[in-house]
Amino acid sequence: MTDDRTPILVGVGQLTQRDGDLERALEPVAMMAVAARTAAGDAGVGDRLLAAIDHVAVVNVLCFPYGNAPRLLAERVGAHPTHEISTTIGGNTPQSLVNRMAARIAAGEAGVVLLAGAEAMRTLARARRAHVRLAWGGGEGTPAIVGDPRDGANAYEMAHGMVLPIATYPLFENAIRARRGRTVDAHRRYLGVLCSRMAEVATENPHAWFRDRHTADEIVTVTAENRLIGFPYPKLMNAIMEVDQAAAVIMTSVGRARALGIDPSRWVYLWGAAEAHDHWFVSERVDYASSPAIRAAGRAALAAAGLTIDAIDYVELYSCFPSAVQIGRDMLGIAEDDPRPLTVTGGLPYFGGPGNNYAMHGIATMCDRVRAAPGTTGLVTALGWYMTKHAIGIYGSTPPPRAGEPVDGTALQHTVDAEPGPAFVDAPSGSGIIETYTVLHDRDGAPVRGLVVGRLDDGRRFLASTPAERSLLEGLTREEGVGLRGHVTHDGDANMFAPT
């Protein structure tokens, strides 16, 4: 018999706000409230469930600096929580919140928990263009903040242009291509197929922002509308954040669900969960085609669930860029030709990328999926910063066959931290090779800068830019640059790598 303290998810809700009228557009907290009420209705008990909430946890809102978003949300849905929680920045935080709140429920420290998040980047952008001031805000008090607060990049990386994800994730992609031994053209075709399969899922998802069917050729063909951003990614391979989307999940215990009269057909169990982070800064990584943290956390979560990856029915891999999908897939042991779709939502470039909250949509959609097919299981991954912070959850529509031991997060992180990375040199000088790279483009699609992670002949790693010569930059987008030999020099705070 399932223990009364077993944590379960009992209601999910999503909102995609498409109305372009600024006067009718809901602000993020109002969108969360709609999603929360939908989740309570999904559980089958409505306002009675909202009134029982004792924890409200809100994913960090990027588009607006609320003072206390959890309190504002509680007021809008008629809840009176004893705990108000917000998160640090990171796309890992929705799954991390589920893991954290499940532990609190199992320990008897939480009764009914509302998790929610929303972004209204599209409305904000439209308001700015129209010079309209939005009356958003409010919220007295200060919520508890959970999550790792460290910045994703250090000052040295920022000085070399490794700041925005559009500049960093292509570094992983080009390393993956080189490791696979594909030509630039062959890998481009491969990415088209990978992304078109995600886009196909989005066409069938009513909550997806972009439901247009994109072929592999359309995704990879560079045009004025599908310009190159960070080689090898044209626009259609990038997460799109100018969306208005919200999602909410309600969690409780088996005993509380029974007391509230929630039908067991609505219950979804967290079979296994784990979290870890890779070596924090991108310049410190073991390499750029793997993630020891995903590998370790995936193994731990699967072991806790008593499953192998081949036994998982549905998969939702975090998909801000194709490199995240591929590394997640490879680290979990999913074969390249596995027939299972790698997303249940459609992925951030096609479903939409609502800031830190995308994974909440993945969790909500996964709950719907496993409920619709009793006896099935699904795995969700979430990540933050630059392939840095990782959280994994495994969900099932029935109780797990055995009660697994909670994952020892400290021991798991020690395992990841012990992975050796190369020595780093701040002021390199001499000959070396490109370990990975990207070419950044302006809004007209013209190449403007090359960004290099390199190795000196003695194996030490360095960061550098390339000369802004158009012929050089265009050449790096046509032919393989990984392994290219050159000379690096240091000048003040920055380095320059010139191929020889």
CB atoms under 10 Å from CB of 235, counted, come to 17
CA 331 – CA 325 distance, rounded (Å) = 10
In this prediction, residues 217-224 reach a mean pLDDT of: 96
- DSSP-assigned states of every residue in 35-58: HHHHHHHHHT-THHHHHT--EEEE
Alpha-carbon span 201 to 298, nearest angstrom: 24
Greatest pairwise CA separation for the chain in angstroms: 73
How far CA 57 is from CA of 121, 126, 129, 146, 362, in Å, comes to 21, 28, 32, 9, 17
- Tell which residue, 357, 451, 421, has the closest CA to residue 164: 451
The 10 Å CB-count burial string (b at 16+, else e) for 424-438 is ebeebeeebbbbbbb
pLDDT at residue 389, as a whole number: 98
CA distance 93 to 429: 40
| Residue 247 pLDDT grade (very low, low, confident, very high; cuts 50, 70, 90) | very high
**Is beta strand 83-87 parallel, antiparallel or unpaired with respect to 55-58?**
parallel
Average of per-residue pLDDT across 217-221? 97
Q: What is the pLDDT of residues 122-177, one digit of tens each?
A: 999 999 999 999 989 877 889 999 999 999 999 999 999 999 999 999 999 999 99
First to last CA, the chain: 69
**If phi over 0 gives left and psi between -120 and 50 gives alpha, with beta otherwise, what is residue 456?**
beta
pLDDT in tens, 399-420: 998 776 788 899 999 999 999 9
The domains of the chain, with CATH numbers, are: 7-152+241-417 (3.40.47.10), 430-499 (2.40.50.840)
Element (H, E) at 119: strand 112-120
Q: Strands 447-456 and 244-253, how do they pair?
A: unpaired
* pLDDT (average), residues 264-269: 98
Which residue, 10, 77, 94, 85, is CA-closest to 37? Answer: 77
Alpha-carbon distances, residue 338 vs 204, 378, 474 (angstroms): 21, 15, 34
List, for residues 41-82, the tens digit of each pLDDT value.
Answer: 999 999 999 999 999 999 999 999 999 999 999 999 999 999
Q: Is the pLDDT of residue 482 over 90?
A: yes
In whole angstroms, give the CA distance from residue 423 to residue 478: 30
* Burial class for 57, CB neighbours closer than 10 Å (0-12, 13-18, 19+): buried
Query: What is the structure's pLDDT at 1?
Result: 47
For residues 207 and 351, is the Cβ–Cβ distance under 8 A? yes
Q: What is the DSSP letter of 356?
A: G
Q: What is the pLDDT of residue 2?
A: 77
- Angle between helix axes 93-106 and 358-372 (nearest 10 degrees) is 60
Sequence-distant (6+) residues with CB within 8 A of 403 are 3
Please classify residue 401 by burial: count the beta carbons closer than 10 Å to its beta carbon, then call 0-12 exposed, 13-18 middle and 19+ buried. exposed
User: Looking at residue 493, what is its pLDDT?
Assistant: 79
Query: Residue 65 class from Cβ within 10 Å (0-12 exposed, 13-18 middle, 19+ buried)?
Result: exposed
- By the 8 A CB rule, do 462 and 432 touch? yes
Tokens 């040199």 — which residue? 425
Mean pLDDT for the chain overall: 96
Nearest-Å Rg of the Cα atoms of the chain is 23
Residue 220's pLDDT is: 97
Question: b/e per residue, 369-393, with b = 16+ CB within 10 A?
Answer: bbbeeeebbbbbbbbbbbbbbbbbb
